[in-house]
A and B are shown apart, each in its own frame.
Chain A
Amino acid sequence: MLKKSRMIAVALTVFMLAGVLAGCGSKPSGETAKPQKLTLYCGLMEDHMVKAVQEFEKETGIKVDAVRMSSGEIMGRIKAEKNNPKASVWFGGPADAFVQAKEEGLLEKYVSPNAGKIPVQFKDADGYWTGIYNGYLGFVSNQKLLNEKGVAAPKSWDDLLKPEFKGQVVLANPGSSGTAYTMLATIVQIMGEEKGLEYMKKLHGQVKTYPKSGTAPGRMAGQGEAIVGLSFLHDGIKYREEGMKDIILSAPSEGTGYEIGSVAVLKGGPDQEAAKKFVDWALSKKGQELGQQVGSYQFLTNPEAQAPKQAEELKDTKLIKYNLEWAGKNKSDLVEKWNNAIK
């Protein structure tokens, strides 16, 4: 008995060691094999990302590895990996973060042949990033909960401070979420720094939780976890189509900020050729129209691309003149000030 189990144990040990060695040995060879491939960090919704990757792979034969993170996480990653970048494309998420990444020297300049068609206000003047879509910030509220409280959907920034909304507002963390930072920067641009931070402090008393990703607040409102979520409005439409029937959208009458979802090549990343091909593709009519199939209803930057008809209802949203350069360059500062203000 002892002998038998001993043999089994030895056999298993050898087998496992072999597995270990094989595991270690196989990796380098995997890296030397050279079909074109591409690694990208993505700030879009996961289903949008996966669809885009599949489509791009099919079209070009370039194998893509992609991971979805919030824009703060992406920024943290590329900063940490600066000396040895792992990814070569940053795909999606508000341009504020791209402006900041450009400042920090994390982006590679690339003017795609397709970028010519994109209107100037949607791309970096120096060619470090290019916009792919445009989305408006607003309030995603839950009609059923509003009725229970007997209050109307917020129509202005000040409405959020109503006592009925105490503990019922969800805003993502402006540090980690591009969406929430857009909101913070919008408020400061509308009200000025001092008043704006004061407002954020008051709002803090109304906030239920600060999730790290900007896609969370709208969903939480839709699911009835809170009355109002600060979100990009097109996300609200997506959630409503997914079955959160109680969602109602509104925008502040003072005007609201917006995002220019962008794409950029990361400096020093591997596979720069494939990265450029991807940017070209993301700016193309086909690449931009893809989002609608998986419920991403932003306005598109390529004038030839057909905007989703679902975005129609957002057309009349009043926008401020959002100063992207300013927002991007002051991001760390402003987030820090916000952190101190809400203490």
Chain B
Amino acid sequence: MSIIDRQLEEMKKVIRDPILLVTIIAVIISLIIFTLWPIYEVLVEGFLAKDGTFTLKYYQDVFRQSENMRVLGNTLLLGFVVSLFSTAIGFLFAYADAFIKIRFKRLFNVIAILPIVSPPFALAMAFIMLFGQRGFVTYSLLGIKDANIYGFAGLATVQVLAFFPTAYLVLAGLLKQIDPSYEEAARNMGASRWHIFKTVILPLVTPGIANSFLLVFIQTVADFGNAMVIGGNYTTLAAKVYLQAMGNYDIKGGTALATLLLMISVLMFVVQKYWVGGRSYVTVTGKPSRQRELINDPIISWIVGVPCALISLFILVLYILIPYGSFVNLWGIDFTPTLKHYGYVLSLGLKPILDTTYLALLSMPITGIMGMVIAFLIVRKQFIGRGMIEFTSMLSMAIPGTVIGMGYILAYNDEPLVLTGTATIIVLSFLFRNMPVGIRAGVASLQQIDPAIEEAAQDLGANSFKVFTSVTIPLISSAFFSGLVYSFVRSMTAISAVIFLVSASYNLLTVAIMSQVDVGRLGVAAAYSTVLIVIVLAVTGILKLLLGRMGIKINMQ
């Protein structure tokens, strides 16, 4: 009884506040239109026959064709293997970062950031340069003539290298929160380090391990770029959806496959968010009371440090290859230095560079503001539909880009809302795909701030808008600007959704790079990638500098 009363009371407060009410309704409507509707279109399209009647044919086809089952098996196996290795390596890095005294820790940050600021298939490209049939290592150094990295092994390795930083960041955060008193207590009672690791540390981070496993799984399954570039004949669902819908122009078959992919991702997301996500043992202990004394045992440092150093070095080499590859004449054949690829990019391919930068910049403020507004609503306000806002807005993080891209094409090519071929559709896809990270950052920092400050402003007569702009936003400015930067970077490097949405009027860099890789022009692709990375670093650098002057720190993770 009292709960309902209280809810009613809260609802009344909302209704009395027109600005708040309008905002809530606007947010809910936009989430319905731009997140739920496209998904609905994808789900429904596969059930409709060409004349609009209900049919199960396409779904039956999906399950009957043994090829599709093989693709599904491929996807799950890949997800499992990549998540397993990524989590293991991520844990190693996190452990080294939080527990061990080693010198090159700053490098870890670089390694963690690189996959975020580069095109999603940059690693795959570099990998082909190194280990392809004419690869630098395989052919020039080892003289292997038949090296074939297209397929499971190549794809899985590249994905592990690209996605283990996710696991690293999640786990490092957790490990650093563990209060050292526990270990010290155990040490004092005579437990060995290994015993402590097994009985204290590991149980504390088990939910975190499960969490990062699932997060990596979602990313792997949705990964489109690497699967297209280096997957070879090992087809995964994310690539197959695109090939089926656009390559074989069988949109209906494509949507049925997309539904399958969507199910996997959403299932993982729900498990991650509501089952694993809630089981953190670490936060119960609160913030650690003091700094941990880092392990200085040379044996442990070596065992953990050497693999970390080797992996980091390897990743750096891969990334350095990209700019290097853009300056040589013809990779694998003729290594004379040349600027011709840049000539090509700057004369014939300038448009995608400008378009991408413009659209990413345009979507940046919208994403940032909307993210903070939603975070504010979720944390501070009680109203009907709050749960829906939270779930839907975070959901778009889990939906594979190929699914959402297809949904956008299906939903916005007809009345009442025709958006295909415009800049708007691309900006919208950036907005709704990149918002969740801003929301998460906003929620996290709002939760640390006492609502009394905002209430005080309200009591003094400020309305919701005023409170939000002059109290809330300044208090969470760091989260806000981090969200901005992140959204820009993600927009610049996204491919899976926008490959469906680019048009003759607006082409994007990642799509241009992908098509250069596909036709085998690695030099031009490398030049494009280098330009992209430079733009991303320049813009984030400038933003960081400006904000730093204002005393605002941003956090890229």
Tell whether A pairs with B: yes
Across the interface, do A13 and B369 meet the contact criterion of CB distance under 8 Å? yes
**Closest chain A residue to B499 by CB distance?**
A73
B246 touches A10 (CB 8 A): no
List residues of chain B with CB within 8 A of the CB of A68: 515
Stretch at the interface among A40-48, A118-126, A183-191, A253-261: A40-48
Residues of B within 8 Å of A219, CB to CB, are: 519-521
Q: How far is the CB of B74 from chain A (nearest CB, A)?
A: 13
Which of B160-168, B193-201, B414-422 lies at the interface with chain A? Answer: B414-422
B180 at the interface (CB under 8 A from A): no
Given contacts A212-B243, A224-B133, A242-B330, contact A17 B421 (CB under 8 A): no
**A212/B474 contact (C-beta < 8 A), A76-B249, A79-B249, A225-B132 known:** no
Q: Identify A84's interface contact among B330, B362, B366, B418, CB under 8 A.
A: B418
Q: Closest approach, in angstroms, between the C-beta of B384 and any C-beta of chain A?
A: 28
List residues of chain B with CB within 8 A of the CB of A176.
243, 246-248
Within 8 A of A (CB), among B241-290: 243, 245-251
B348 within 8 Å of A (CB atoms): yes
Known: A16-B365, A86-B420, A223-B331. Contact between A5 and B502, CB under 8 A?
no
Q: Is B81 an interface residue (CB 8 A)?
A: no
B504 touches A225 (CB 8 A): no
In the bound complex, do residue A208 and residue B150 qualify as a contact, i.e. CB atoms below 8 Å apart? yes
B551: A residues at CB distance < 8 A: 1, 5
Q: A17-B365, A19-B362 are in contact. Are A216 and B232 (CB under 8 A)?
A: no
**A148 contact from B65, B145, B480, Cβ within 8 A:** B145
Given A16-B369, A76-B247: A67 touches B518 (CB 8 Å cut-off): no
Question: With the chains together, A215 CA to B552 CA distance in Å?
Answer: 49
Is B323 an interface residue when CB atoms closer than 8 A count as contact? Answer: no
Q: Is the CB of A67 within 8 A of B150?
A: no
Min CB distance B405 to A, Å, is 11
Contact of A243 among B334, B365, B366, B503 (CB under 8 A): B334
Q: Is A325 an interface residue (CB 8 A)?
A: no
Residues of B within 8 A of A80 (CB): 245, 251, 409-410, 413, 420
The reply to whether A27 and B422 form a contact with Cβ atoms under 8 Å apart is yes
Q: Which residue of A lies closest to B234 (CB)?
A: A209
Docked complex Cα distance between A234 and B516 (Å): 19
- B460 contacts partner chain A, Cβ-Cβ < 8 Å: no
Tell whether, in the assembled complex, residue A243 and residue B330 are in contact, meaning their CB atoms are under 8 Å apart. Answer: yes
Minimal beta-carbon separation of A257 from chain B (angstroms): 20
Q: Is the CB of B247 within 8 A of A212?
A: yes
Name the residue of chain B whose CB is nearest to the CB of A101. Answer: B249
Per-residue contact bits, chain B 305-333, to A (CB 8 Å; 1 contact, 0 not): 00000000000000000000000011111
Residue of A whose beta carbon sits closest to that of B254: A76
Contact partners of A225 in chain B: CB under 8 A: 128, 132-134, 332, 520
B228 partner residues in chain A, CB cutoff 8 A: 212
**Contact (Cβ within 8 A) A46 B348:** yes
**Does A86 contact B503, Cβ atoms closer than 8 Å?**
yes
Q: Is the CB of B141 closer than 8 A to any CB of chain A?
A: no
Within 8 A of A (CB), among B208-259: 228, 232-233, 243, 245-251
Most buried by B among A17, A65, A72, A80: A80
Q: Are A23 and B515 in contact (CB under 8 A)?
A: no
Q: Is B470 an interface residue (CB 8 A)?
A: yes
Cα of A208 to Cα of B128 in the assembled complex, Å: 14
Query: Which of A4, A167, A224 has the most B CB atoms < 10 Å from its CB?
Result: A224
User: In the complex, what residues of A have CB within 8 A of residue B520's CB?
Assistant: 211, 215-216, 219-220, 222-223, 225
B423 close to A (CB within 8 Å): yes
- Give A80 to B133 CA distance when docked, in angstroms: 38
* B424 sits at the interface (CB 8 A): yes
Q: How many A-B residue pairs have CB under 8 A?
A: 184
The B-contacting residues of A in range 221-247, CB under 8 angstroms, are: 222-226, 242-246
Which residues on the A side are within 8 Å of B414 (C-beta)? Answer: 83-84
Residues of A within 8 Å of B, CB-based: how many? Answer: 74
Interface 9-mer from A107-115, A282-290, A335-343:
A335-343
Contact (A20, B477) CB under 8 Å given A79-B251, A207-B233:
no
Q: Taking the complex as formed, is B17 at the interface, i.e. its CB lies under 8 A from any CB of chain A?
A: no
Using A16-B368, A67-B507, A223-B333 as known contacts, say yes or no to A84 and B420 having CB atoms under 8 A apart: yes
- Interchain nearest-CB distance for A95 vs B (Å): 17
Chain B residues lying within 8 Å of A332, measured Cβ to Cβ, are 248, 250
Question: Chain A residue with minimal CB distance to B522?
Answer: A223
Nearest-Cβ distance from residue B327 to partner chain A, whole angstroms: 15
Complex contact B330–A216 (CB within 8 A): no
B60 adjacent to chain A (CB < 8 Å): no
Q: Count B interface residues, CB 8 Å.
A: 70
Known: A84-B420, A343-B66. A224 touches B413 (CB 8 A): no
Contact of A209 with B504 in the complex, beta carbons under 8 Å: no
A70 to chain B, nearest CB (A): 7
Q: B413, A10: Cβ atoms under 8 Å? A: no
A81 vs B501: C-alpha distance in the bound complex, in angstroms?
11
- Chain A residue nearest in CB terms to B423: A27
Please, how many angstroms separate the alpha-carbon atoms of A222 and B333 in the complex? 9
Query: What 0/1 readout, one digit per residue, does chain A (71-97) give for beta carbons within 8 Å of chain B?
Result: 011011101110110110000000000
**Contacts of A79 on B, CB cut-off 8 Å?**
249, 251
Say yes or no: is A8 at the interface (Cβ < 8 Å to chain B): yes
Which A residue sits closest to B410, measured CB to CB?
Answer: A80
Q: How far is the CA of A335 from the CA of B248 in the complex (A)?
A: 8
Cβ contact of B552, chosen from A5, A224, A242, cutoff 8 A: A5
Q: Does A154 contact B (CB under 8 A)?
A: no
Q: A226 near B362 (CB under 8 angstroms)?
A: no
Q: Is B205 an interface residue (CB 8 A)?
A: no
CB distance B246 to A67 under 8 Å? no
Check A212 against B249 for contact (C-beta < 8 Å): no
Inter-chain contact A86/B333, CB cutoff 8 Å: no
**Separation in Å of the B130 CB from the closest CB of chain A?**
13
**Cβ proximity bits B108-125 to A, threshold 8 Å, 1 near / 0 not:** 000000000000000000
A41 touches B504 (CB 8 A): yes
Q: Given A17, A27, A81, A215, which contacts B519 in the complex, CB threshold below 8 Å?
A: A215
Whether a CB of chain B sits under 8 angstroms from the CB of A213 is yes
A167 is contacted by which of B132, B148, B246, B248 (Cβ under 8 Å)? B148
Provide the bound-state CA to CA distance between A10 and B70, in Å: 54
What 8 A-B pairs have minimum CB-CB distances, sorted nearest first?
A: A176-B247, A219-B520, A16-B365, A86-B421, A76-B246, A76-B249, A224-B134, A175-B248
* Complex A-B: 15 CB contacts under 8 Å: A5-B550, A6-B470, A17-B365, A46-B348, A65-B505, A66-B504, A72-B248, A72-B249, A76-B251, A80-B245, A80-B251, A86-B420, A209-B232, A219-B519, A225-B128
Q: Given A10-B473, A16-B365, output 16 extra A-B contacts at Cβ < 8 Å.
A: A8-B550, A16-B366, A23-B362, A23-B427, A39-B505, A41-B504, A72-B247, A148-B145, A175-B243, A209-B232, A211-B520, A216-B520, A220-B520, A223-B522, A224-B332, A244-B330
